[in-house]
Structure formats: C-alpha cells, structure tokens
Structure 1
Amino acid sequence: MKIKNLLLFLILLTVTQIYSQDRKRPFILVKSSERNQILEKINTQEWANEIYIDLKLKANLQVKQFYKNPKSYIKQLPFNWDENKNNTFPPFFKTTHMRNGVQENLDNATDEEWRPAELLITHLQVALDCGTMYYLTQDEKYAHVASTILYSFLKSVQKSEVSDWHGRGGWLFPYDGFREVRVIGYRLPLIYDFIHPYLKKEGKAFDIIKNKKVNFPFEEAQKVFKTYGNITVNYGQTGSNHCALEAPSLVFNALAMDDENEREKWLSYFLTESTDNQDALNIMVKNYKNEGDIWPETSQYLNHTTSILARLMLVVNKYNPSLKLGEKYPNVLHALPRLDYFIYPNNEIVRWGDGHRSAHAPYEAYDNAYALAKADGLTAIQNKFAPLINKAINNGKYKRQGTEALFWYDDSFDNESTTVDLSRTDRVYHAGIVLQRNLSSTDNPKDGLMCFVGGAHMVHGHAGGMDMELYGEGQVLGVDNGRKRYGVDLHENYSRIFAAHNTVIVNGSSQGEGGWVNLGMNSVQLIAMEPQVGKEGVSPYHSFSQTSFEDDRGDKAEANQERTLALIRTSPTTGYYVDVFRSKSKLPNEYHDYLYHNIGDKLVFENSDMDFKKTPERYMENANDTWKRNKLYRNPGWHFFKDVKTSKIYDKDVKATFYTKRLPQDDVFMQLHIPSFQNREYTKVKAPTTFEAPKPYDNLPTPTLVIRNKGEAWKNPFVLVYEPYNEKEKPSIQSVTKILQNGVYKGLKIVSKTPETKMIQYILTQSKGQVFKSEALNITFSGTFAVITLDEEEKLSSIYIGEGEKLQFKEILVTTNTENSFYKDFKN
C-alpha cells in the first residue's frame, strides 16, 4: 500500500509540476516548455526558418536604432508634450475623426487624423517582435527594448480617461473604442507575456522622463489590461461580428492577468458569460447550428469572424486543454471552407450586402482548425483540412507566415490533394440566396453559366429587395453595385438601398425600415428549386428557382412579389437565363419598376420606334429627402441615375443589347429579349460605377435598364430572357414569343440556333398550384416550371419538369416522382 501511495503521490507531483510549468509565462500564444521544439522546427524546416529570419531582421533593425539613442527613439511615440505636467509622462494625442463638425468613428479618418494611432501601432508591433525574439533567443537586449516601449505606453495611456461615447468609446480612440481594442488593446498582453521572465528577474525598462533604467510597474500593467478587457465587455454591441472582432483583446488581456482567479473571471466573459455589450462564445456558436452553417453576415465578414473564433478557440484550448473547444464546437471549424462554394466560374464571389467580389480562402484558419482538431483528437476534421492546406501550399496560394505559424503548425502533410465539388445549386440561407450554376464540358470559365436570386436583412446587409446577379462570358455581367467607403452619400443613399440592385421598386417607394441601421426588410423565401442543394439534378441542361418576397417596409409599397429564375444550357458554349418577376401592391394607382444593371459601355435598343427622350427629373423626387447617417435615407436611391432617357408607352416586343467592349478579352454582350405587354415604359440610364468591376468598368458608369409597368405586374409580369455571348460566337436565340392563356402570361416559345443544332423550347412558368392548358400547342401542365425541347423538325427532344405533377405534350404524358421533378431525353 505504501508503494502504491508513493507512486500516486509521485504521479500527482509530476502532473502538478507539468501544470505549473505550463502556467509559467509565456503561455498565451506559446508555452515556455515548447521553446526547444520550436527551435528544432526552425533548424529543420525551411518555411519555419524563413519566418524566423524575417522576424530577426526586422527586430534587429529596430534594436539597433533604439540603442543608438533610447530617449530619442521612444520620443517618436505620439506624446502630447504640451500637457507634460510635473515632469511626468504626458498623455498621448488622441485619434479622432470629425466630419461637418460632428465626431464620428474612424471608418473615414484621414491619414493625418490616423497618424497618432499609426505611430502607436508601429511601436507596439516592434515591442511584440522583440518580445518574440527574446522568447526564442533569451537575449535580453530584445526584452529591454520591448519593456521600454510597453512601460512608456503604460505610463502615458493612464493619463487619459476612457470615453463613453454612444456606449462604444475608447481610451485613446475616444469615439471608436471598437477599433482601439482591435489594433491596440490586444498587443499589450502579448508583449507582457513574452517578456515576463525578464521582468520578473528585475529586468529594467528605460524611463525617458527620469532618464534612467527603472523597475517595471506590474500593478499598473494589470490595471491597463483590465481596462482593455472592460472596454470589450462593457462597451460595444451584441448580435453582430463586433463581438468576435473584439474577442482577441478580451482573451489576451484576460490571460495577461497574473492573479489566476482574475484570469478565469475575465476569461469566462469569452467562454460563457455574456453581457449587454458582448456575446460569449457559447452564444456566438449558435450561428453554427448545423455542419456547414456560416456566420450570418456578408462575405468579407463571415470568414473573418469564423477565422477569429477558430484562432481563439485554439489559444484558449492550449491554455486549458480540458475545455476541448474543438470537440465542443466543431461546426465553427466546418464553416471555414464554405465561402469557396459561393463562387462564380471566374472565382469571384457571389455578392450580397457589403460583401466584396473577391477574397482568398483563410488558409491560416485552416491550419488553426487542423491544430485544434489534432489537439482534441478529431480525425474527421484533420482529414478535411490536411488536403486543403497541402493543396494550397503546393499551388502557391498559401505560404505560412507570422510567428503563430511558427508556434502552432506542423511541418507538412501527406502529399494529397483535393478539389471543391461545386454543387449545381446552393443556398446562403441567412442571405435568402438561391444560386444555380452550370459549368461547361469545355472546362472554360467563359462558357460557364451561373445566377442567383436573394435578399435578406442582416448586419452589413443591404435593403435591396429580391435581388439578382447574372454571369456570362467569364464575367459577372448583371451586377450588384457593391460598396466602397462607409458613411458617404453614395453608400448610404445608393449602394445599400433598392436602386443599386437588380430588383423591382414598387410605387417609387421600396425601402428598408427597422433592424440594423434602419435597413430592415423581409427575407426572400424559397418556393421551389431544382436541383435541390447537393443533388445531381434530373437534367444536365436545366435548373430553376422560384422565390417570393414581401415588400412591406414604409407604407407606400405594400407589395407581394414572386421571381422565377431559370438557367437553360443549349450547348457547351451557349445558354440563356429566363427571369419572370411578378409584383402587385395592395395600394391604388400602383406602378412597378424593374431594374437591371450590366457592366458595359452602352445599352442599345434595336427597336427604332420607341421614341426615347431625355427625362432628367424622372427619378429626382426624393433627391433632397432628409438623410441621417445610418438612420434615414433618400429611398429608393435612383436619384443617382444620370443621362436618363425614357421611351413612350410601348407595347411591342423589345430587343436590346448591353455592349462591353473594353475588357482585355473578347468583346462581350448581354442580349435581352422582352416580350410585349401593355402599359410599359422603358428607360435607359447611367448608374454609378460598379465597385470591383473588371477594369476599366471599375471607373465607368454602369448602363442600366428600368422598365415601368403601370398597374399590377402579376398576371402579366416582367419577363426577360438574357443571353450572354462574345464577338466570335453571335447570339444563339433567334426569337422569343410569349405564351398566354386567357390573356394571362404562362410561358415562352424560344427558338435557338446553336453551333450544334437548331431547337425550339417551350418554357412554362407559373405560380405554384396552377394549370396551363393550350389546345393550339397541345400542352397541358400542372406545376411551376417545365421545358419542352423540340428539334429543328419539331420532333420531341426532351421534357424537363423542374417542379410539377403532370405534363402532357401531344400523345406523351409524364407524371413526376415524389420530388415532383423529371427529365427524359427522347432522342436517346
């Protein structure tokens, strides 16, 4: 028994010593006990050695400058010497931004306004680099430089008061604490953590006021760490990416607390204890309910936010492995590659809200996910990310950089590769997006087709109604405006509201209301689609979606809308889109405007009798409405349209083409076929530049079509057929004719001549639950969407039912399966 008790005691003692050793600083990013294996990595792995050499060169340059004249070097910090009192450290200059006499956050700060912050960030990064070099080399010259910069910062920052501006104030950024913790607050605890061993053995910092080396003020450092933790916990807002963006400062400052009870208390605000101003991790992860769920914002925010959470989960897990955060919240990790599935054939991203057109995969986050999965023994996640990382490295898309890579990543993986299998259809659920793609057998991105319908309210979302984008000839041609600078007139009163989108404006009054910055609107709802997400699809040539939207914000639109968007491929190099947009208002004297923006040089109508005339005042009614940033807007935003020309009321078929002739590639065209309806007016305008369009269209107006329907547009909706083509191909569509039943629109007859054959297609588009019957065409269809294709001899080639129960064409009767879809090629 005594031997057993002795063994148990020795085991407990060993565990306690290991735990104690792990709690010996540094331990935020890396443990003191890991130093030897990291040095071995530097000596044996080329990528690790490159990171180390780069860090050493940067740090040595700054150390050399510091030791030439420490006082002069530290005086580069943005001290306000006019407030130097009693021969003590002066406060820092504040970083602020004022516009029209009003203090604002720093989104649009000028270079001059940003200068104090830039100086602080630069010197704190020097301190962090030197702290890291001290950890790796144990050379105290690095620690002395880092301690002097940190000491000087601590002394001066405490001369200021923390602002409470709008509940989002800061210390040095009094009108943007949200930004301060992201660029200043998180660096301090890391510097402290790395140089702590030097400070504990009474390593000195240089005091430029006393002009001598002094002991480090530990208690003051702890107060500063708590202040930055407090700015995160008790300032800011919940329910958005702000909580994740501020979390690194919260976690690092929590881990900088020397009292373990204090450390655990502040760390709990990240893990489980939400406040009125900060969501904890257990709340944020609710956005990842299912595997594949993504952060519910726009593209540049969703991956950034998830990457931050994955990184912090790794940091906290390393501090306390018993938490097993990877095992507890695996869907955060599964979300990281999702953005790669929302890309066009040219690798640009489907754009919604404030999202950008291009972005790179967060490969460093993949590495973090792999490291966390390895620590928690999650084999499936390791197997998911290892080939993704390996392929990115082998393809030159990813190079490991920065000290966190040095600390956390393995040397290499098995030489395996992978490709992202892009589904024929996909959905961005929180954005209301339903996308369709049809990649060509030529494997040429120019021959790929892709489109989407979407729209929803979210943080950084736009109030743009039921929006659409169209791709063709290697470019996103039917475009959303995107965004550039926040807070400016163009962004507030155009980019983020209806007129900047391919949508329908009702009674000139469609708008957002309520919710985030008063841009609230309903989500686009799915009625039907084929193929379903992840399914192969019944036909290789056809797909469709039908969606609905309620335009009920404000009190002057009050409309119900429905949109059917179909993608039809007619050959490996040709195809077209059919857009059927229904809209009706509950209000009298209704009118509806269909908008379509296409990058290009001009919009040309082939109809010579439309009698276009200048109508400069057509969209100016709300141009001078009250605008209050993030509160009130000049809806619907079309007062930004220039060179406005409008036709007479025109009730004939219309054919028009967008010319795009300044791309480096071949000239590109988007041709529109618009069947005739009563009470239609056509307007062509020059809309503002489309952001992130291909050069030179990123600096040119965007040709835009507006079609006004006086009265309801439901029984006879907006119907457009879009065909992209290039100068070497010529358009394949020969004619488009509408199909009516008792004066109500039911579909189209489209005749095409492709490089391979001539075909006739009947495109049947109805609201759900309706029946179309035509004795003249010998067609009966019960369902939402179908395509009947005939060859040039008018013999049946194929029947496609995207959603429906039954279709009869002449003697052929088709009933669908349980999924209400069907396809058959009658030629084979």
Structure 2
Amino acid sequence: MKIKYSIIFLFVLVGVKIYAQDAKRPFILVKSSERPQILQKIKTQPWAQDIYNKLLKKTDSEVDLFYKNPESYVKQLPFNCDEAQKNQFPPFYKTDHIENGVHKNLDNATDEEWKPAELLIKNLQVALDCSMIYYVAQDEKYAYVASSILYSFIKSVQKAELSNWHSRGGWLFPYDGFREVRVIGYKLPLIYDFVYPYIQNGGKSLDIIKGDKVDFPFNEAQNVFRTYADITINYGHTGSNHSVLEAPSLVYNALAMDDKTEREKLLSYFLTENTKNQDALNVMAKNYKEKGDIWPETSQYLNHSTAILTKLMLVVNRYNPSLKLSQEYPNILHALPRLDYFVYPNNELVRWGDGHRKGKAPYEAIDHAYALAKMDGSIEIIDKMGPILNRVLENGNYKRSDMESVFLLNSEIEGNPNDFQLPITDRVYHAGIVMQRNPSSTNKPEDGLMCFVGGAHMVHGHAEGMNIELYGEGQVLGVDNGRGKYAKDIHENYSRIFAAHNTVIVNGSSQGEGGWSNLGINTVEVVSMEPQVGAKCVSPYHSFSQTTFEDNGGKKAEATQERTLALVRTSPTTGYYVDVFRSKSKLPNQFHDYLYHNIGDTLAFENRNMAFKSTPEKYNQNANAKWDRGTYRNPGWHFFEDVKTSKPYNEAVKAIFNVEQLQPGSIYMQMHIPGFENREYTQVKAPHTFEAPKPYDTLPTPTLVIRNRGAAWDNPFVVVYEPYNQTETPTISSVEKIEKGGVYKGLKILSNTATETLVQYVITQSKGSIFQDKELNIYFKGTFAVITLNEKEVLQNIYIGEGEKLIFKNEVINTKENKCIYKEFNQ
C-alpha cells in the first residue's frame, strides 16, 4: 500500500520547531559522545590523521573562497533567476534529458544538461565536508559555510513541484528521481546532522535574498527530508537493485527527522515495511538464501548493492544496537568477499550481462561488516573478515580514504593475514556460471588457464544462451562483448542478445523472451562437473563441466542444448580447452550456428581449399526490423561486417586468431575443428569488444561462425582451443575425432611440449552413455575422461571427471560412489 507520509506528518509539524527528543545530534554516522574517541583516533592513527588533514586542506581552499564573498559563492548554485518571484528564493534549474522530443532518464545526458546537477553536487559536497570538519574542530566558520549552502538549497528546492511520474520521477530531476536521491538526496540529512549543534544554539545562515544572516528554517528542512524519504518509499520499482540504490537516501532522511515517532516510522520502510515501489531489507535479504550467495545481478551491481546494504546495516545498528543486524542477516555480509573469487589470473573479472572487466571485492564494505560484527559479537563474521582486511591493508590493495571511515571503522583488526586460495571451480548460481581455473606452478598470470560456461536471466542480464569465455597468455581471449552506454542501438540490438556471445544460435532465431527488458532466457543447468565447488580436485591437470540449456525464447528456435567444456593442462606453461556443443531443435529444416569471438587482428585459416566468398547479406534479415522498448533485432548478427563464407566443407579445419598489437607481445589462439558433414564456415568482423586491452577495445573483433545444417547432436560442434605466445610454438600437432557408428565420441590429441610428447584420448559423451572401441582397447561408461600416453604410447595417467567404469587395455577402473578419479601409472 502506498503511504504518503509527507502529507500525514506535514499537518502535524507545521509551525512547530522540534528538536531531537531521544538523542543528541549528530548521531547518523557518528555520535556526539564519540568525539573524544575520534580526536584520539586522528591523533594516534596515521591513516585517520592523513584522511583528516587531506580533507582539511581541500576544504579550506573552498572556505577561503566563501569568506572572500559569501553571497557570490552561494549564488554559484544553479538558480533559475528568470523564474524568481520578488524577494523570494528562485527555483533551481531542473536537470532533464531529452531524446527525439521525449524526456528520458539521465544515463545519456549531455554535459550541458547535467551542469545544474553537477553544480548542486559540488556545493553540497563542500557543505558536507565543512560539516564534518565542524564536528571534529568545533570551529563555527565551517558550520556557517555548511548551513548557508544547506539553507539556500532548502529554500530553492521547495519551489519545484514533485513529479507525479511514480515509476522514476523526482523533484529536481523530474524524470530521474532514482538518480536524484542517489546523488543529492542522501547528502542533505548528513549536513543537517553534523551542523545541528550550531544551528540549534542560534548559529546563523546566510540568506542571499535578504543579504543577511538569519535563523535556520527547521520546519522547512524537515519537509525537505520528508519529501526525499517519500520519493524512495513511493517512487521507483521493486525486485531490482533500485531499492538498494535508493535506500541510503531513505535511511539518512529518516534519521534526520527530529520527531522520534516519524523517524521510526520512516526507518521501518528500510527494515521491514515494503511498498509497491520499495523493497525493505527483509525482502532484499532473501536474495542471499545461502552463505556465499551474491546479489543476483551482474558484477558491477552485485557488490555495489551488498556494500550499500552493509553500510546501512551498520548505520542503523549504531542507531539501535538492539537490532543486531549482523546476526539477523549474516548472509548479506558473507557475500562481500565473493568478487575476489570471480577473477582471471590477470585480475580481470569474469563477465556476464552488463558486468565490467575491472573490479574487486568491496574492502571498505568488508570493513563495515567487521565493525558491525564487532558491535554484535558475531564471531564467525569477525573471524572471516578480520584476516581479509589485514591482508589487503598490508598488501596495499585497500586504503581507508574518507572521513566516514574515521567515524565508522575500528582502529584495530583481529586476525592474521591469510593466504588467499582461489578454488579450482566455482559457480555464480544466479547467472548459471560454472568456472574452471588451473593456476600454473610458475605463478605467472600468462601461464594460468581459466574458462567458464554460463547463462541465465536477471536484471541487467543478457540473452546470451549457453555462453563461454576463454583465458590464455595473460588475456581474456574468447570474449563476451560486454556493454557500452545503455539504450544505444549496439547495446540493445547486439551487446545484450545472442550474436555478441560465444554461443549457438538456432534457426537464426534465438532470442530472449519475457522478464526484465524482454531478455528472459532459461538458466544454464549443471549436469556434471569436477571438481565440485569446494571439493578438492582429483587431478592437477584436468577439470570439466557439462551443462544444459533450453533455447525456447520466441517460437522459432525450440532447441535443447548440451555443452561440455574441459580444461587440460599439458605442462606448467601449456594447455588447451575442449568445447563440445550439442544442439537440436524440435522444428523441421533446422540449422545451428556456433559463434566464437576472439580479440585480435585477424582470423587465418590454414586450409587452402575452403573457397571463402563475400556474403554481405547473410546475416541481414533483421537489420531493419522493428526496434522499440522490449523489441529487438534478434539475434543481432546484422552488426557483423566483412562477412565471408566457405563452400560446404566436411574436412577438419585449423585456424589461428592473431593478436599482435599487445604491448607485452603477440599472442595467438589456435583452433582445431574436426570435420563433419553439412558444415560451412563464415569469418566476420564483429563490433569491438568493450574493455578489451588496447587497441582491441576499438578494433573489430574477429569472429568465427560455423553453421550445421540439421541437428548438431550426434555430431556436435567440437573445437579444441590452444593459446600460445610469440616465443612459443603451439604444442598440439594433430586432433582426430573418434566416432562409433557415425556418432561422435571423443578426440585423439597429439601434443609436443618442451619436455615430452603426449597422446591423449579425450572422451566426451552425454551423461550415462557408453563408448567401446576394440581397436583402441577403450571401454568407458560415463561423461568425461582423459587417457594420457607418452610418445611410445605407454600409459601415463587416467582421469575420469564423471563416470562409472573405464577400461583401457588391461587397466580397469571403477569410480564407485565418487564418480571421479585420477590415477598415475609407474613407468
């Protein structure tokens, strides 16, 4: 139910000056009574002293400007003097963005459109900085600056009409209140809280209309805080990170209310009371069902959301310690370190949906979690967060950097720094992601191997199908396109739909349907994987996953898919990936396209008889199809350029992606593709990959598309990928497919490393299948296995990732209940 507290309490409070009834301000970020401890912290802790001195130096330059001409300084606020009434404060210029005559949110606002907001944000930050220094130094010259800026804001903002657009409306940002509360709304109550002792005791504020120092307008300030709280409670939408991002404005404005009853009621909308426009904490916490679950969006949102919730939990817990929020919602706090697990060896992030390449666990939020846990006596959280904090504080990956840290955080952290061990496999459950990594014994990022398969629907997710990324030689080579600016053609009609991903498009028609932005897809489900998350790997050289996906968006794909992705290390510096993608449709005349994007300069084929010809119209069927909100030009491959297609080609294919403009030197990704009937190959230049290493963040992305006429199930798409650098030669010399009765069963891969020659039989089947070959002397019932021989074909080791029984010559291996095993053989 929508509750308009701005209306209810307005009648109660008109004409009455009410001061805090139950607490002495300030108390939002720090209590008045804590000032001696804060002074001691600044005096004795170098990090706190450094923060305070830097803030003082930065702020004093603004304070000096203010006192040279106070009226001129305040008048730099974005007042719209043309609409001013005589002897009254003018309204502010509103911040708006218009595209093709339509008012839109401010994601793509121009610098000119954003200028009024920029001026407000800058001046309010000066006021906030002054107010914090006033708390520490008790020098009223800072309080006068802060209260004068706040005074002018309160007077002018009330001249605006609050938007009636409840999906995202605001006060000064009439079509983007969602942004207004995030950049403006939360600052006001903090300024008020810090300068309250000054204005309560008769401290004056500058009125630029009267040209005089005047009393502070308490009742009007209360109305402004009430209105910003109301924007959060009764505007916006639920079920996404919007509720989280608006929550700081709600909490701080609630705590700025001087009437305790009103304060508690507004605060309840953060803790327990949900509206149709705002989720409360008890609902948002349901996203963290299990310990280690993360906010169910993409990387730049998952930690941001959790970090915001953690800080607000600390603030509210400090206001009311009886809540013990770290014990009520511990899984929120357990989610904080998780982003450190989702990184490639070069420290770039695994990317899904609108996620970015750069990022790390929110160590400041971990600091907040530690402080909250210390308040509540939550031992498990203390024991988990303490060692992490000490590790990153010591290695320089985290540095406390603002005054809020001085106010909120502990000086001493318990727990010894620990060696942070990344697991061999991990999962992002809400994104359908299964990761595999194999760090090298050299400890060099360029020698590490890592890959993932995944796909699912979520807010800010992409309709990507069953997508993969591949890492090698210090770079993410097999890439997801990522994203640029929202609402642009390339974003909506390429980046976030199938063609921008390393997936399979069915009948040229794979698409999202329903859900957020009509991008709904099914979640990639795990059939088998080794090792399981949290389990010890059975082999130092192997891992794999088998996953499934239903491609049933729209009515023209109707496909079932299965993907086996394996990582095989052959030496401390070499290894390869095996990708087996099965796809079949219920529809007649089906065809399936396997897409693989790799950063680089060129894609070169060693086969000279493929007869590539220009086919510019091949992917253009939907290039001019309808595009509006929720309707896209699926599957997005009309963005492909320089399209060249081979003749129908049944032979094995060998190709290389050349990446030759990287500063460290050239690297390559070699592909071995066994031959199958009904195949044709197309090479294209896909759009540039966002956040790729320079210069590939602006260059086209070489991409291969393999089309299979008919079902690709018994004879799936099979590709072996091997990364290497300019000082190396690729180790794989041959790849031969293994078939039985015309059905693909696996590969024979010959590798020549620096120290040995390896012959490996890689068996990849659907779960529960049986492969038997008398000539090879192999019997295998199961999903995935690798048999490794030396150049004399003497057995070296056997790895079963998932299976029941394997026989090779005279060796018989039963896996029993574990279904996985690794065994080495004495020579």
With structure 2 as the length reference, what TM-score do the two structures score?
A: 0.96
Report the counterpart of residue 800 of structure 2 in structure 1: 801
Contact (CA 8 Å) 2:650, 2:679: kept in 1 or not?
yes
1: distance between equivalents of 2:584 and 2:360?
Answer: 41
Contact (CA 8 Å) 2:769, 2:783: kept in 1 or not?
yes
2: distance between equivalents of 1:434 and 1:683?
Answer: 29
User: Is structure 2 residue 402 aligned with structure 1 residue 402?
Assistant: yes
Residues 29-428 of structure 1 correspond to what in structure 2 (within 5 A)? 29-165=29-165, 167-413=167-413, 416-428=416-428
2: distance between equivalents of 1:532 and 1:98?
Answer: 51
2: distance between equivalents of 1:508 and 1:442?
Answer: 44
Query: How far off its partner does 1:166 sit?
Result: 5.4
Contact (CA 8 Å) 2:345, 2:448: kept in 1 or not?
yes
Report the counterpart of residue 664 of structure 1 in structure 2: 663
Contact (CA 8 Å) 1:340, 1:420: kept in 2 or not?
no
Residues 780-791 of structure 1 correspond to what in structure 2 (within 5 A)? 780-791=779-790
Query: How far off its partner does 1:197 sit?
Result: 1.1
Report the counterpart of residue 593 of structure 2 in structure 1: 593
Report the counterpart of residue 705 of structure 2 in structure 1: 706
Counterpart residue identity of residue 270, structure 2:
F
User: Is structure 2 residue 721 aligned with structure 1 residue 722?
Assistant: yes
Report the counterpart of residue 685 of structure 1 in structure 2: 684
Counterpart residue identity of residue 452, structure 1:
F
Report the counterpart of residue 752 of structure 1 in structure 2: 751
User: Is structure 2 residue 481 aligned with structure 1 residue 481?
Assistant: yes
Report the counterpart of residue 604 of structure 1 in structure 2: 604
Report the counterpart of residue 771 of structure 2 in structure 1: 772
SS at match of 2:819: coil
2: distance between equivalents of 1:164 and 1:587?
Answer: 48
2: distance between equivalents of 1:772 and 1:449?
Answer: 29
Counterpart residue identity of residue 39, structure 2:
L
Q: Deviations over 1:445-484 (max 9, x none)?
A: 1111110000000001000100000011111100000111
Contact (CA 8 Å) 1:740, 1:747: kept in 2 or not?
yes
Query: How far off its partner does 1:551 sit?
Result: 0.4
Query: How far off its partner does 1:385 sit?
Result: 1.8
Percentage of matched positions with identical amino acids: 69
2: distance between equivalents of 1:748 and 1:276?
Answer: 56
2: distance between equivalents of 1:474 and 1:56?
Answer: 42
Counterpart residue identity of residue 714, structure 2:
K
Report the counterpart of residue 13 of structure 1 in structure 2: none
SS at match of 2:213: strand
User: Alpha carbons of 1:132 and 1:320: their partners in 2 closer, same or farther (altered >3 Å)?
Assistant: same
Counterpart residue identity of residue 686, structure 2:
A
Report the counterpart of residue 498 of structure 2 in structure 1: 498
Report the counterpart of residue 645 of structure 1 in structure 2: 644
SS at match of 1:740: strand
1: distance between equivalents of 2:396 and 2:787?
Answer: 47
Query: How far off its partner does 1:104 sit?
Result: 0.7
Q: Deviations over 1:136-192 (max 9, x none)?
A: 122111111111111111111111111123521000000100000000000010011
SS at match of 1:798: strand
Counterpart residue identity of residue 744, structure 2:
Y
How large is the RMSD of aligned CA atoms in angstroms?
A: 1.2
Q: Deviations over 1:607-652 (max 9, x none)?
A: 00000011111111000111114x1111111111111111000000
Query: How far off its partner does 1:545 sit?
Result: 0.3
1: distance between equivalents of 2:330 and 2:576?
Answer: 41
Contact (CA 8 Å) 2:339, 2:360: kept in 1 or not?
no
1: distance between equivalents of 2:348 and 2:443?
Answer: 16
Contact (CA 8 Å) 1:307, 1:336: kept in 2 or not?
yes
SS at match of 2:716: strand
Contact (CA 8 Å) 1:367, 1:385: kept in 2 or not?
yes
SS at match of 1:673: strand
Q: Deviations over 1:326-345 (max 9, x none)?
A: 12111111110001011111
SS at match of 2:258: coil
2: distance between equivalents of 1:413 and 1:262?
Answer: 37
Contact (CA 8 Å) 1:760, 1:790: kept in 2 or not?
yes
Report the counterpart of residue 557 of structure 1 in structure 2: 557
Query: How far off its partner does 1:779 sit?
Result: 1.2
Contact (CA 8 Å) 1:22, 1:31: kept in 2 or not?
no
Query: How far off its partner does 1:315 sit?
Result: 0.2
Query: How far off its partner does 1:413 sit?
Result: 3.4
Contact (CA 8 Å) 2:607, 2:654: kept in 1 or not?
yes
Report the counterpart of residue 438 of structure 1 in structure 2: 438
Query: How far off its partner does 1:387 sit?
Result: 2.2
Report the counterpart of residue 8 of structure 1 in structure 2: none
Q: Deviations over 1:532-586 (max 9, x none)?
A: 1111111111111000000001111110000000111111111111000000111
Counterpart residue identity of residue 723, structure 1:
E
2: distance between equivalents of 1:347 and 1:572?
Answer: 19
Report the counterpart of residue 12 of structure 1 in structure 2: none
Query: How far off its partner does 1:415 sit?
Result: 8.1
Give the length in aligned residue pairs: 808
Query: How far off its partner does 1:22 sit?
Result: 7.4
2: distance between equivalents of 1:147 and 1:827?
Answer: 80
With structure 1 as the length reference, what TM-score do the two structures score?
A: 0.96
SS at match of 2:90: coil
Counterpart residue identity of residue 405, structure 2:
A
2: distance between equivalents of 1:466 and 1:332?
Answer: 28
SS at match of 1:79: coil
1: distance between equivalents of 2:762 and 2:591?
Answer: 27
Query: How far off its partner does 1:419 sit?
Result: 2.5
Report the counterpart of residue 675 of structure 2 in structure 1: 676
Query: How far off its partner does 1:360 sit?
Result: 2.9
2: distance between equivalents of 1:188 and 1:489?
Answer: 38
1: distance between equivalents of 2:664 and 2:583?
Answer: 38
2: distance between equivalents of 1:414 and 1:151?
Answer: 43
User: Is structure 2 residue 632 aligned with structure 1 residue 624?
Assistant: no
Contact (CA 8 Å) 2:21, 2:260: kept in 1 or not?
no
Query: How far off its partner does 1:59 sit?
Result: 2.3
Query: How far off its partner does 1:21 sit?
Result: 10
Counterpart residue identity of residue 192, structure 1:
Y
Query: How far off its partner does 1:361 sit?
Result: 2.6
Contact (CA 8 Å) 1:556, 1:587: kept in 2 or not?
yes
2: distance between equivalents of 1:644 and 1:597?
Answer: 14
SS at match of 1:132: helix
SS at match of 1:699: coil
Query: How far off its partner does 1:414 sit?
Result: 5.8
With 786-795 and 448-457 compared, the bigger mean Cα shift is at 786-795
2: distance between equivalents of 1:658 and 1:164?
Answer: 54
Counterpart residue identity of residue 720, structure 1:
V
1: distance between equivalents of 2:164 and 2:717?
Answer: 51
Contact (CA 8 Å) 1:170, 1:178: kept in 2 or not?
yes
Q: Deviations over 1:330-384 (max 9, x none)?
A: 1111110001011111111100000001113311111111111111112232222
User: Alpha carbons of 1:243 and 1:375: their partners in 2 closer, same or farther (altered >3 Å)?
Assistant: same
Q: Deviations over 1:265-287 (max 9, x none)?
A: 00000000011011100111111
2: distance between equivalents of 1:338 and 1:21?
Answer: 42
SS at match of 1:53: helix
SS at match of 1:802: strand
SS at match of 1:697: coil
Report the counterpart of residue 577 of structure 2 in structure 1: 577
